[in-house]
Amino acid sequence: MKHSWPLFLFYFLIKLALEIFLLMRLHDFRLFFLHLGFSPFLFLILQRMPFSMPLKMAVFVFDLLFPVIGQLGGILFLILLYFVRPLYTKKGKELFELPHGDRDYNRYMVEKKIINKTLDNLGEEETYLKFVHVDSVVDVMRGEDKTRKIRSIQEIARMNPKDFIPQLQHALQDEVYEVRYMAKHILEGMEKKIMDELEAMHAQLQLHPTDYQVHNSMARAYISAARSGIFDQVLARNFLNKAFDSLHVSLQIFPDQKALYVRILEIYIHLEEYQKCADLGPSVLTMPMPSEEWCKLAFYYAEALFHLQDYELLKEICDKILDKKPKYDKIKDTVRFWSRLSHDAV
């Protein structure tokens, strides 16, 4: 009798593990019947337990219903998820953040720093790490020290190469073969990764041509590729035009996506089509939307006005943006500069 309790607990641990697998693979009915197949063992175990007969029957019935309840619960969860997900995505929460946010705003600081590990033999066979020093990548790549250049390229590969694309492209012209080879290898790897992502998105688009979220993801991938700095200007412009087409199709499928206009205005800015951005801006800004979304759209509209030197409208829109108190430092700082400039010009 005293050995029945561990056996009883061990049995329910097995059943719990099976239940977890069952919830993860609701379509696999073999797990369901395997789950039920263990119930006779519980009946034998209960015969040795000091429970009353009603309690034994209750435990046995619960064990039989356990996989059924889990199966029904999992199916109910999937059904609810099917209805809840569109309600969530229609709010635009999964769409786009401002690309000129903190990441780009602080990129200059990131680009100029790299860990340069200085090694000292110390008179022994092994080398040891003496200290860690933060050095400028630009200074290292312009120098004559071959070892430091190679070490810098190695550290770039270990860190985030996307933040050092200008330095890697500069390294392609370096006189040291090892530096040129390593920089080319890193850039080719990044280019392949981007193209593989675009190819995968195209495959998804073929499977789901009427899914607006797939078109949004396609546009996001094209914009990311265009802004990576890896490709030449002709190919980058081609990517931006393809992104614009994807966004246009997405809006045709599901028009109530105000956040997409942020990307559309951004594309106009990158293509230097400032007049198109200025023409679209006023109509978009009249749409009802959250304050932050409005600030993002107004920011690109103001940038177009700045390039068109329309200081009257620039002054007006800058004042409206500052009244909204945007949360992005990049928006606030740039708009304040434009505001002072437009006030002086007017």
Token reading at 297: 């759209």
| Whole-number Cα distances in Å, 338 to 104, 118, 323 | 19, 45, 14
Q: What is the pLDDT of residue 63?
A: 63
Q: Which residues of the chain have pLDDT under 50?
A: 1-3, 26-27, 87-135
Contact between 236 and 226 under an 8 Å Cβ cutoff? The reply is yes
Which residues are bridge partners to 123 per DSSP?
Answer: none
**Are the C-beta atoms of 223 and 201 separated by less than 8 Å?**
no
| Cα 163–Cα 166–Cα 167 angle in degrees, nearest 5 | 85
**Angle in degrees, 0-180, between the axes of helices 274-285 and 291-308, rounded to the nearest 10:** 150
Amino acid 244: pLDDT: 94
Q: Which pLDDT belongs to residue 268?
A: 93
The token pair at 299 is: 């920011």
Residue 346: enclosing H or E segment and its boundaries?
A: none
Give the pLDDT confidence score for residue 321 in this predicted structure.
Answer: 92
Whole-number pLDDT of residue 102: 44
Cβ neighbours for 253, distance < 8 A, ≥ 6 positions apart: 210, 211, 212, 215
Contact 242, 222 (CB under 8 A): yes
Tell me how far CA of residue 129 lies from CA of 118, 120, 132, 150, 235, in angstroms: 7, 7, 8, 17, 44
Q: pLDDT value at position 131? A: 29
Are 195 and 167 a contacting pair, CB within 8 Å? no
Map out the domains of the chain as residue ranges. 4-89, 111-189, 193-345
- Asked if residue 223 lies in contact with residue 239, where contact means CB atoms within 8 angstroms, the answer is yes
Cα-based distances in Å from 40 to 20, 48, 53, 66, 204? 20, 13, 16, 14, 47
Q: Are 284 and 295 in contact (CB under 8 A)?
A: no
> Comparing C-alpha atoms, which of 285, 291, 280 is closest to residue 247?
280
Tell me the β-bridge partners of 135. 114
pLDDT at 300: 93
Secondary structure class of 95 (helix, strand, coil) = coil
Fold of 193-345: 1.25.40
pLDDT at residue 276 in the model? 94
